[in-house]
Each structure stands twice: as C-alpha cells, then as structure tokens.
Amino acid sequence: MPADSSDTALPVIKSVCVYCGSAFGASEIYRQTAHDLGQVLAGAGLRLVYGGGNVGLMGETARAVHQAGGKVLGIMPQFLRGREILYDDVETRVVANMHERKMMMFEEADAFVVLPGGVGTLEEIVELLSWRRLDLHKKPVVFLNIDDFWRPFFALIEHTQKEGFTPDNFTETWISVDSVSDVLPAIARMRGQDMDIDTRTVV
C-alpha cells in the first residue's frame, strides 16, 4: 500500500502505467486502440509501465511504444513468465508475486490509463481507485472507454453510490475518454497546469 500522499507534491509526469488485458478481446478496435496509445505515449516522450507480457493488449501496447522509439518498463511475476511471455526487447523486472508487481507498477508510474481487460484489469483498477478513495495517492487515472467498454463498471460504481456505500464525489477520481487523442489532455487536466508533457504531440 502506498504511503499517505496528502502532503506530497505530485511528480512531473514521466511514466504512464497502462492496465489492460492479456488477450486481444472480441473486437479488433481494442488491439488498434492499444497500438495507437503506445504510439502516442512514445511520441510524447512518456515511458510505458506495464505488466511485462508480450501477449494481448499488453504486448500490443508495449510493442507500439518500443517500435516508435519510446521507453518501456515491464514488470512480471515469476510464475507468469510462461503464460504471459516476457517481451525481451524492453527492460523487464521479474518479481516474486502479484503484490510486488502491482506495487512496483504503482511506484514507477506518475499516471494511469485503463484499456479494456478482464478480471485481472478490474482487480488492478479497483485497488488503485480504493487507494485514491483513501487519499493514499493523487495520481491521474484515465479510462479509455472504447466502444463504451467500461459502461457496466461505471454503472456498478453509480449503484454503490445510490445505495450509500460510495461517496457522491468518488467519480471525480478519474476521467473517462472515448478516444486515444483525449488521453494525454485528460491526464493534464487531472494533473494541473504545471504538467510537464506536450499534449500537442497527440494525434
């Protein structure tokens, strides 16, 4: 769990963690979106932090960043090396377990982008938002809501709000966007006016 960040200045955005699936999903648009996001991150000079795999949307994003000349840090737990397949062309750290992986991804990233994914992606983002709810961090979180993929998740959060379990302002802890070109401007809005990336590089 991260330390209480209520009195800590937000870091300059240099690295973006992307949470996404280890499969491509049912629609080609998911793969294309992951590829386009990787190109945008590389073009903006932002390092990608991700789960280390060479499969699915994870691998597509990492390959796009690397092939565009960007920096990539993959973080892979030892027991998943055979299943998610290390992307050997980029820097990768092999860790002992999932807890260490998630903590290192959090610590190495200054902002987070969420692509479509399954239960693993859900687990990662729920924990991240829970930490945000507890004021343990103030890092930007952006959902790339391609084809309205995350609508059921947002509806569930709204349900917990209506039933009195989640505060009304909880949905202010992230921004949802519909296109890759909106991702970096959304991070900039959440980060504030002193964010040190050039969103003009976004296509």
Please state the domain extents for the chain: 15-190
* Cα–Cα dist 13/110, whole Å: 5
What's the pLDDT tens digit per position in 99-158? 999 999 999 999 999 999 999 999 999 999 999 999 999 999 999 999 999 999 999 999
**What are the backbone angles phi and psi of residue 155, rounded to the nearest 5°?**
-65, -40
Average pLDDT of the chain is 91
> 4-41: per-residue pLDDT in tens?
554 445 568 999 999 999 999 999 999 999 999 999 99
Please calculate the CA angle 186-36-95 and round it to the nearest 5 degrees: 85
Token pair, residue 160, equals 């917990």
CA distances from 107 to 70, 75, 144, 184, 185 (A): 20, 12, 21, 20, 22
pLDDT of residue 3: 60
Per the CB < 8 A criterion, the answer to whether 64 and 2 are in contact is no
Say what the pTM is: 0.91
pLDDT digits (tens, 9 = 90+) for 159-177: 999 999 999 999 999 999 9
Decide: 151 and 176 in contact? Cβ < 8 Å: no
Q: Does domain 15-190 have CATH number 2.60.120.380?
A: no
